[in-house]
Structure 1
């Protein structure tokens, strides 16, 4: 079959129209999900501040709090002492009453990762009583620490006799999972300032004057984020220049919570 020049022009125009229509459909199919994803992302619950509270007592009635306190034994750990170490098989739930506990993991070559600094009211190692596994981190007392320790038998009895305690554990694990999810997402998708600000929000606590304070050195913050101390210093100076934080000896004061949370939002 033969085509005239006019027929050929018509076929080219028709092909071009089909190509343009296909391209338009592709653009629509790609752009629509992105817009939808953006709408979902902006509705995600943000990291609360100050800090990530992981005290089971906040979800317990006074009666069940008393039952937990009665089932626990007191333990004192001197500054620099270990509460437990990575790989230990001892199983217990620890609740900090006084002092600060550093939760970390160290490779054989000395490279360390810090998971968090836990203060009064916060709980750790409860999962070891539900899933029988060696402890995955090391807990060290940064200063003199007072603990409530609930052993396996007492822990199981509390779960059996108080459904409220079981629900509080679910809240605790869900909060921890959300924290870890935020940390992983920020590490993969956020820039360095976002990562540092997220950590500052997690570590912040109110002092007696009501100020939001983070008691951490630049070196410790570098270990949290796994970057050099020089990189931390550069970002922290920039945040101070923006008026978002104030630098004090051995601590950082958070000044504008909403602006800091917006900076931590990498989506």
Structure 2
């Protein structure tokens, strides 16, 4: 299945959807480029191109050649695979400030998953050639790439462990905790408000469960005071979630 691709704009010009300063700040928060000095991040930004996708649009498909890595600047991207039975398994979402699509770019293989826009998405792309030049020229980028890939392996291990060993309410608690800890203003023990504009079906894909079971588990967390729901907004009690998650 060929990916439906959008046309990228030239760099972060005046008509771009993200300002130069905002892009530099976002790059500074990523695991790949956060250790770079501002001048080096500017060099990375100059190599990036802006692109956008509509909700439901395929950004790339499993088996495609890996030509670019992506930095999400707005919206949400689902990373998933199809089983032999045709069931979709969603293993991650990429949100603003997160990088995806790096594996095939780094190892020269094909895409290992489908990437689909859950909502309208804007992103900055960095070509394989540009990334390879950065890796060759800057030791700090090489080290960051190694750490980044190791973190991906750890995340995959934790997710597989959760699906194999833990009840759905525990998986949900861990999902909310992981999302809360990514917030810049996260404080241990404090309540955290999460805006998660995704359906229960999408949430079920992420934690490897059915929608009815996710709905029941959400009600259990809410009855126990671990979360409060109001449409797509969740107020999370970190202490309660940690007790449920066993962390």
* 2:220 is equivalent to residue 238 of structure 1: yes
Call closer, same or farther: CA 1:265–1:182 in 2, change over 3 Å: farther
CA distance in 2, matches of 1:68, 1:221: 33
Shift of 1:109: 4.5
Q: Which residue of 2 aligns with 1:175?
A: 151
CA distance in 1, matches of 2:199, 2:179: 12
2:102 equivalent among 119, 126, 136: 126
Q: Can you list the C-alpha shifts for 1:183-221, whole angstroms capped at 9, x where unaligned?
A: 12222222222112122333446599x723333322222
CA distance in 1, matches of 2:230, 2:184: 13
2:234 equivalent among 243, 253, 267: 253
Q: How many residues align?
A: 212
1:211 equivalent among 169, 193, 214: 193
Q: Which residue of 2 aligns with 1:56?
A: 32
**Bigger radius of gyration among the two:** 1
CA distance in 1, matches of 2:177, 2:214: 15
TM-score, length of structure 2 as denominator length: 0.77
Unaligned runs of 5+ in 1: 1-52
Contact 1:116 1:203 in 2 (8 A): no
Point out the structure with the larger helix share.
1
CA RMSD of aligned residues (A): 2.4
The 5 A counterparts of 1:51-200 are: 55-107=31-83, 109-200=85-176
Unaligned runs of 5+ in 2: 1-28, 186-191
TM-score, length of structure 1 as denominator length: 0.71
Q: Secondary structure at the match of 1:198?
A: helix
Contact 2:201 2:211 in 1 (8 A): yes
CA distance in 1, matches of 2:193, 2:157: 27
Q: Which residue of 2 aligns with 1:223?
A: 205
Call closer, same or farther: CA 1:236–1:252 in 2, change over 3 Å: farther
Query: Which has the higher mean CA deviation after the structures are superposed, 153-162 or 251-260?
Result: 251-260
